[in-house]
Amino acid sequence: MKILVADDELAIRSLVAELLEDEGHVVTLAEDGEDALKKYREERHEIVFSDIRMPKMTGIELLEKIKKMGELTQFIIMTSHASVDNSIAALKKGAFDYILKPFEDLDVVVDAANRAIVDLLAIREQQYLLNTLGRQNEELGTLNKKFRELAIRDGLTGLFNHRHGEDRLADEVDRARKFNRELSLLFIDLDYFKFYNDSHGHQAGDEVLQSLGKLMSGAARDSDTVARWGGEEFIIIAPETDEQQACQLAESIRKKVAEFAFLHADQQPLGHVSLSVGVATLSDGIENAEELLGLADKAVYKAKEFGRNRTVFCRSENEMEDVLPDE
């Protein structure tokens, strides 16, 4: 251990240094408080032995300054019987211990140092354990976050999975009802996907689904939820979105997909990869998420009946509207 000994009496500081050096410690001597503080600033010491009464700076003043620089430094006061009250005051300010001089038994110096070392090592061990526990808790929190994220993500596309999409839709319907806000739902089906898989293999089909997921995520807003509903079906939950805005979003995605250079796209029945999109907006006649989803699903089937590669808006089971492209 590195130990600093401060005492204005040469005989005392030399004796203490000799006792501590015999125990294998590296000892630095200081002739007063200012000298001790200067040497402590130059090199931090784990333990400080200091007389309580010294010229230029008292032991208590030195204690306060050192504790500000090194909170874990073990500070041991050396005092006469007449200064015991001051020593107790030093303990209240953070001193580890005090010993009386003149020393009746020289072992008192080494014993004080050993107690300080045991305490210091215990504090370091505690800090190490706390830091280790903190890192482990942080790592565990990161892992839990990853696991939670994996639990709600589709493994192939990276989009939210069916279960999370279902939960989000129910939550958004409840929120829109409670606060009287707009809410729309897009139900998206990839046209002729079985034909693509049969013609080019499932690996090529998976790559199409992955690219489609990226296209939809890129086109959707931060507030939207894009989920893979199953197979080649997807939904986009669009809060604060009315009928017109939802149809514009659907058409934007449909056009991006139609224009994207998918592998083998020109061999599809329509000459490119395409989507059929059904759109429904929450209205007074819709009671829950299942009904909203049902309307969007019916709109998808109607889009397929109309020839695919189009968007259909569904106001009710008997009221469907083909959303004509702008071009």
Q: What is the pLDDT of residues 262-276, one digit of tens each?
A: 999 999 999 999 999
pLDDT-based confidence at 102, cuts 50/70/90? Answer: confident
Phi, psi of 270 (to 5 degrees): -95, 5
Distances (CA, A) of 314 to 167, 217, 262, 280, 294: 22, 23, 30, 5, 10
pLDDT tens-digit series, residues 28-61: 999 999 999 999 999 999 999 999 888 889 888 9
Peptide bond into 239 cis (omega under 30): no
Tally of domains in the chain: 2
The answer on pLDDT for 327 being more than 50 is: no
Q: How confident is the model at residue 81 (pLDDT cuts 50, 70, 90)?
A: low
Query: Domain for residue 157, yes or no?
Result: no
Quick one: 167 and 315 in the same domain?
yes
DSSP lists the bridge partners of residue 316 as: 319
In a domain, 138, yes or no: no
Q: Is residue 198 in some structural domain? A: yes
Considering only CA atoms, which of 107, 122, 95 is closest in space to residue 20?
107
Indicate whether 272 and 318 sit together in one domain.
Answer: yes
Calculate what percentage of the chain has a pLDDT beyond 70.
Answer: 98
The domain in which residue 232 lies consists of 162-323
- Mean pLDDT, range 70-94, rounded to an integer: 81
Q: Give me the CATH number covering residue 201.
A: 3.30.70.270
Q: What is the pLDDT of residue 175?
A: 95
Residues 72 and 168 in one domain: no
Mean pLDDT of 106-133: 88
Residue 145 forms part of a structural domain: no
Query: Are 28 and 177 part of one and the same domain?
Result: no
Q: What pTM was estimated for this model as a whole?
A: 0.62
Q: In sequence order, which ranges of 201-260 are alpha helices (DSSP H)? A: 202-219, 243-259
Indicate which CATH number applies to the domain containing 122: 3.40.50.2300
**pLDDT tens-digit map of 211-240:** 999 999 999 999 999 999 999 999 999 999
The residues near 101 (Cβ < 8 Å, ≥ 6 apart) are 12, 78, 79, 80
314 with 178, same domain?
yes
Domain boundary pick from 126, 148, 179: 126
**Is residue 78 domain-shared with residue 211, that is, in the same domain?**
no
Give the pLDDT score at 308: 95
Q: Mean of the per-residue pLDDT values for the chain?
A: 91
Q: Are residues 41 and 167 in the same domain?
A: no
Tell me: do 119 and 183 sit in the same domain. no
Are residues 121 and 173 located together in one domain of the fold? no
| Residue 279 pLDDT > 50 | yes
Same-domain status, 223 and 106:
no
Categorize the per-residue pLDDT at 164 as very low, low, confident or very high, splitting at 50, 70 and 90. Answer: very high
Residue 82 has pLDDT above 60, yes or no: no
- Give the β-pairing of 275-281 and 183-190: antiparallel
